[in-house]
Amino acid sequence: MKTVLISGGGIAGTALAALLSHRGYAPTVVERASGPRGGGQAVDVRGVALEVVERLGVLEQIRAHRTRMRGMSVLDGDGRELHRSTENTFSSGRLDSGDLELLRDDLVRILHDRAKEEGCARFVFGDGVTALDPDEDDVLVSFEHAEPRRFDLVVGADGLHSAVRRLTFGPEERFARHLGMHLAIFSSDNFLGLEDWQLWLRDGEAGYGIYPVRGNSELRISFGYAGEPLPEGRRDPQAQRAVVAERMAALRWETPRLLKALADAPDLYCDTMTQIRMDRWSQGRIVLLGDAGYCASPLSGQGTSLALVGAHVLADALARSDGDHRTAFASYEERMRPFVALNQDLATENPGGPAAEESVERAKNAISLDG
């Protein structure tokens, strides 16, 4: 049984663990967090990705955890309603679509449980990859805490700031394309009393989206603002919190209460809107998956679907290759690249808002799982 180390226990890595277990591989997932990560925004499972979760056997669970918004309001800087819709929201698109929106942490938990059910997947939390030493037969992997271990294959599914990508291909700066925006996401009590309704406010180069979750008991708050990436030394959580508060302070309406919620939030996530563009996603026995290899940024609305579809295509390529990882990785790239390109383009099609509905429809269905 071939052993596979998957660095990253998010959507891509956990889905791949479940899919590989079903195909006779022995995957080990190593994740820096102490358990499946909580928090995060609502994410979308769209188009072909719905077929992936159906094949994984978790479609009905995902459907049961979907958000159930009635609509949204777009506000000016003083909180006055400029526009409302009961047909679509900025986070999920058309409300009558067959696509599914759910919280990121719910999706990760569902995938984690499914991977564990397969029996072959092993999860190691609170650790990370520090060095990779590949040869013709396997890869010797060093960890922050665990003893070094050899694996037949290594998959970097460790996100935008992938350690596997850095160790294998070089510094992030070679591949990152900053889109000029920053994103901060956190949760709070529903102090606005929202009921299945989203609010979106923008004033100049900053703004926020607010929507209720967990039966309207909580809010998910997303701050966005323009700016260049922070220097490396200012990426620690406290520095990020201070920068976000500074950039949002000029906004009016409920901003003071939102900034208080930011200060108290236990699950703040901050990062730049950035895409990763690479000429290749594999080297030897090491391959990249999801945001690590082809991050589309949250502006595309397709990061989750790219992760799920990429996991299926990679697992399928490995299963069909009769143990030849070179053939499998080449097939994975050939099938995924057109799909990735269309979905990355969604992030830049309309700088002022979501991409056109017809562009999303074309991109989300632009691959066949059995191609």
What's the CATH number where 190 sits? 3.30.9.30
Strand partners, 185: 222, 269
Question: Per residue in 213-236, is it b (16+ CB within 10 Å) or e — as a string?
Answer: beeeeebbbbbbbeeebbeeeeee
Domain edge (last residue) among 231, 246, 274: 274
Write down the residue that tokens 């696509």 correspond to. 99
Q: What is this structure's pTM?
A: 0.95
Domain end residue (candidates: 256, 274, 292): 274
In a domain, 290, yes or no: yes
285 and 351 co-located in one domain: yes
Assign residue 195 a region: left if phi > 0, alpha if psi is -120 to 50, beta otherwise? Answer: beta
- Cα gap 164→316, rounded to integer Å: 22
Q: Is residue 120 part of a domain?
A: yes
Predicted confidence at residue 85, as pLDDT, reads 95
Do 187 and 152 reside in the same domain of the chain?
no
Q: Is residue 339, in this structure, part of any structural domain at all?
A: yes
Q: For residues 138 and 152, state if they share a domain.
A: yes
* Domain match, 40 and 155 both: yes
Same domain, 165 and 24: yes
Tell me, yes or no, whether 49 and 139 share the same domain.
Answer: yes
* 2 three-state secondary structure: coil
**Does residue 17 belong to any structural domain of this protein?**
yes
36 shares a domain with 48: yes
Write out pLDDT tens, residues 274-322.
Answer: 999 999 999 999 999 999 999 999 989 999 999 999 999 999 999 999 8
Residues 139 and 119 in one domain: yes
Into how many domains does the chain fold? 2
Q: Is residue 112 part of a domain?
A: yes
Q: What was the pLDDT predicted at 38?
A: 81
DSSP string covering 95-147? TTSS-EEEEHHHHHHHHHHHHHHHS--EEEES--EEEEEE-SS-EEEEESSSP
320 shares a domain with 255: no
Query: Quick one: pLDDT at residue 19?
Result: 96
Instruction: Measure the CA–CA gap between 1 and 23, rounded to whole angstroms.
Output: 10
Same domain membership, residue 182 and residue 163: no
Q: Does 83 fall in a domain?
A: no
Q: Is residue 12 part of a domain?
A: yes
What range defines the domain where residue 36 resides?
3-67+101-172+275-364
Which residue numbers in the chain have pLDDT < 70?
230-235, 352
Residue 201 CB neighbours (<10 A): 24
Which of these three, 274, 290, 323, is where a domain ends? 274
Q: Is residue 280 located within the same domain as residue 333?
A: yes
45 within domain boundaries: yes
Q: How many CB atoms lie within 10 A of CB 152?
A: 17
